[in-house]
Amino acid sequence: MTKNDKSQKSDLEMLDESSNKIGMGGYLNMGKDEIIYKQRMQRRKEIQEKRLDQRDKEKGLIIVFTGNGKGKTTSSLGLILRTLGHGHNVAIIQFIKGGWIPGENKALKVFGESLKWHSFGEGFTWETQDRKQDKLLVGKSWKKSISYLRDNSYKLVVLDEINIAIKLGYISIEEVLKEIKERPSLTHVVLTGRGASEKLIESADLVTEMKLIRHPFREQGIKAQEGIEY
């Protein structure tokens, strides 16, 4: 790291600390004087603008959605919509899943050739009951994934439930990391599924862990419903 890098990092840290000290505003601030409040928020705005000016780098991100809570695939779908909305190409490859057609698959057909959707799995392990076949299908999914990871015309590649495939021993984390690190520099890749590998987490730019607090299946015996689970 150069002297300038260290100086820039110090500036960013100071701006971040100042931003946190002022806070978000609203009624979280205890002061009742509206003039003082406006001055604080003006200062917050000035700091925020400086923070944004200094964060001017762009790169393809490795994004991980993991945890036992619901919302991992759903979060990736939000990124898919966002990316398609900007006119970019997107590919989603579903590992494990595939025994049913989810609502999002049907809805996203309106984007035509801009979205490639592949589901090679045949369902959960307790449904397939054939780990050799499961591993074979994961291999097929991974081969298709590689073709998109190496294609710079795709802005976003989603590897849905690949974390489960890695955890179950159907594919090695080393092989996955090798390919995603060799992808085009501005291609984003999302890896979803509970039990994400520590090696993957350490290599990622953004990691979100969904925490299970309440779930209707567990507490109330509510079955999977259209629009919620699929």
Sign of CA dihedral 6, 199, 63, 224: negative
Over range 167-185, report the average pLDDT.
Answer: 96
Q: Given this model, what pLDDT does residue 122 score?
A: 64
Contact present, 139 and 120 (Cβ < 8 Å): no
Question: Quick one: pLDDT at residue 35?
Answer: 86
Reported pTM: 0.82
Average pLDDT, the chain: 88
Which pLDDT does position 123 carry in this prediction?
64
Q: What residues does 66 pair with on adjacent strands?
A: 209
CA dist 86 → 24, 117, 118, 141, 188 (Å): 29, 18, 22, 27, 14
Q: What percent of the chain is modeled with pLDDT above 70? A: 89
Q: Which residues are catalytic?
A: 68, 70, 72-74, 82, 124, 126, 161
Write the pLDDT tens digit of every residue in 113-135.
Answer: 999 999 876 666 656 677 888 89
Residue 8 pLDDT greater than 60, yes or no: no
Q: Helix 3-22 vs helix 34-54: angle between axes, to the nearest 10 degrees?
A: 160
Q: pLDDT tens-digit profile of 44-55? A: 999 999 888 888
Query: How many other CB atoms are found less than 10 A from the CB of residue 58?
Result: 8
Q: Compare 163 and 224 and report the one with higher pLDDT.
A: 163
The span from the CA of 226 to the CA of 230, in Å, is 5
For residue 204, give the nearest of 224, 183, 181, 227 by alpha carbon.
181
Model confidence at 1: pLDDT above 50: no
**Residue whose pair of structure tokens reads 């890098």 in the numeric block:** 5
| pLDDT tops 50 at residue 66 | yes
